[in-house]
C-alpha cells in the first residue's frame, strides 16, 4: 500500500477543522489522477488503431457502438450472418420456429440469447464477428434444453414438437446459463437483471445442457 502526502509532511500531522475543505479537494484531486499512467497507456494504444484527430468527431455513444456494437439486437442482421446447418437450411421446421420466437422476443431476451450462444450480449459492429450457426440436436426432443458452443457462436436445438415448447426451453436456457457471459460477470453474477423482461423461472428446473463447448457429461464440443 503506497502513501501520498496531500501536502508536504502531511503524514506527520492531523487535519484541522478549518482545513477540511482543502483536505477533501486535495484527496479528490489525487484519487482522480491515480490512474493517469494507465489511462495514458490505454490512450496510446487506442490511438495507434484510431487516429486521435477522429475522436473529437464522435460522441461517447458513437465510439461505444463502433467498439462494442449496438445494444439493440437487429434480427435482420442476425439472420444475414446465420449459417443454418440443418436439412433444408432455413426452411427446416426448427429454423422456422426459432426465427418466429426470436422475432417476438424483447430486446433483453435477444441479448440473453446472444450471451448464451457467444458470451457477449451485442452483435459485433459491421458484421465482423463471424457467423451465427444453428444446428440440430439429433435424437432429442421436448425433454431436452438447447445447447451452445460459445467458442463457435453456435446454438444446437432439439427437434421440438411446437413453437411453445421451444420458446419455453429457449427462454429458460438463455436466462439461467451465463457462466461465460463476460457482461454477466461484470454485472456481479446476478442470474436476473431487473432490466430483463423475462422473470427468472423457478429453481426446480434442470440446468441448461451445455455452455462454453462442454456438455453436461463433461465432453468438449
Rounded CA gap, 45 and 47, in Å?
6
Where residue 156 falls (left for φ over 0; alpha for ψ -120 to 50; beta otherwise) is beta
CA distance 68 to 103: 23
Question: Among 35, 68, 151, 177, which one carries the catalytic annotation?
Answer: 151
CA-nearest of 132, 135, 133 to 87 is 135
Which residues have a Cβ under 8 Å from the Cβ of 102 and sit 6 or more positions away? 75, 78, 110, 113
Q: Is 151 annotated as catalytic?
A: yes
- Pairwise CA distance, residues 52 & 123, whole Å: 26
The gap between the terminal CA atoms of the chain, to the nearest Å, is 45
Which helix (DSSP H) or strand (DSSP E) does residue 154 occupy? strand 154-158
How far apart are the C-alpha atoms of 210 and 218, rounded to whole Å?
9
**Active site residue ranges:** 151
Amino acid at each position: 500500500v503506497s502513501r501520498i502526502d496531500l501536502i508536504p509532511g502531511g503524514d506527520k500531522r492531523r487535519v484541522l477543522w478549518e482545513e477540511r475543505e482543502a483536505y477533501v479537494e486535495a484527496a479528490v484531486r489525487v484519487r482522480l489522477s491515480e490512474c493517469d499512467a494507465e489511462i495514458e497507456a490505454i490512450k496510446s494504444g487506442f490511438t495507434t488503431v484510431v487516429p486521435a484527430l477522429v475522436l473529437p468527431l464522435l460522441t461517447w455513444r458513437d465510439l461505444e457502438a463502433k467498439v462494442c456494437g449496438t445494444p439493440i439486437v437487429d434480427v435482420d442482421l442476425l439472420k444475414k450472418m446465420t449459417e443454418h446447418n440443418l436439412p433444408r437450411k432455413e426452411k427446416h421446421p426448427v429454423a422456422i420456429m426459432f426465427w418466429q420466437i426470436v422475432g417476438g422476443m424483447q430486446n433483453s431476451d435477444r441479448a440473453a440469447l446472444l450471451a448464451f450462444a457467444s458470451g457477449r450480449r451485442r452483435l459485433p459492429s459491421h458484421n465482423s464477428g463471424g457467423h451465427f450457426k444453428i444446428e440440430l440436436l439429433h435424437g432429442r426432443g421436448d425433454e431436452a434444453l438447447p445447447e451452445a458452443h460459445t467458442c463457435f457462436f453456435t446454438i444446437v436445438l432439439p427437434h421440438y414438437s411446437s413453437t411453445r415448447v421451444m420458446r419455453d426451453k429457449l427462454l429458460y436456457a438463455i436466462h439461467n446459463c451465463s457462466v461465460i457471459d463476460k457482461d454477466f460477470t461484470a454485472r456481479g453474477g446476478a442470474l436476473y437483471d431487473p432490466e430483463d423482461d423475462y422473470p427468472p423461472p423457478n429453481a426446480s428446473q434442470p440446468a441448461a445442457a451445455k455452455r462454453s463447448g462442454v456438455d453436461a457429461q463433461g465432453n468438449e464440443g
